[in-house]
């Protein structure tokens, strides 16, 4: 990984170098979210335990990632069902319009002017 693939950010009171997530700005925004979550964890505790705070934060992030993955899987299943229904409707439409199995003859009159492009 080159230096351009990493960025120094502050999480809590610690400056760390992390891989860039999409853009440096998004990476810094994520670090700010982590800092805010860490401050919330610290505020809810009656004693300082940096390692426990870090583990709580890591667990919270793992939960968010798992929830996002489950949500994406559900969305994918929903889209697949919708596409399946669309395919069934299209097949039914084709079946009702193709009664004799033959293609319709071309329209009468002069052929349309078609220009072909080379790729």
Residue 113 included in any domain: no
Distances (CA, A) of 49 to 9, 52, 70, 113: 22, 5, 32, 78
For residues 37 and 111, the model is more confident at 37
Range of the domain at 29: 3-96
For residues 42 and 117, the model is more confident at 42
pTM: 0.61
Residue 117 included in any domain: no
Q: What pLDDT is stored for residue 48 in this prediction?
A: 86
Residue 40 included in any domain: yes
Q: Is the pLDDT of residue 119 over 70?
A: no
Residue 108 included in any domain: no
Residue 89 included in any domain: yes
End-to-end CA distance of the chain: 38
| pLDDT tens-place string over residues 10-66 | 999 999 999 999 999 999 999 999 999 999 999 998 888 889 999 999 999 999 999
Residue 102 included in any domain: no
């Amino acid at each position: 990984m080159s230096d351009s693939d990493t960025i120094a950010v502050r999480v809590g009171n610690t400056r760390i170098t992390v891989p860039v997530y999409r853009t440096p700005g998004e990476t810094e925004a994520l670090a700010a979210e982590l800092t805010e979550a860490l401050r919330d964890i610290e505020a809810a505790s009656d004693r300082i335990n940096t390692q426990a705070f870090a583990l709580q934060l890591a667990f919270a992030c793992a939960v968010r990632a798992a929830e996002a993955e489950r949500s994406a899987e559900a969305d994918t299943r929903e889209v697949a069902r919708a596409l399946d229904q669309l395919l069934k409707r299209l097949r039914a439409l084709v079946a009702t319009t193709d009664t004799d199995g033959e293609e319709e003859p071309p329209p009468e009159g002069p052929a349309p002017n078609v220009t072909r492009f080379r790729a």
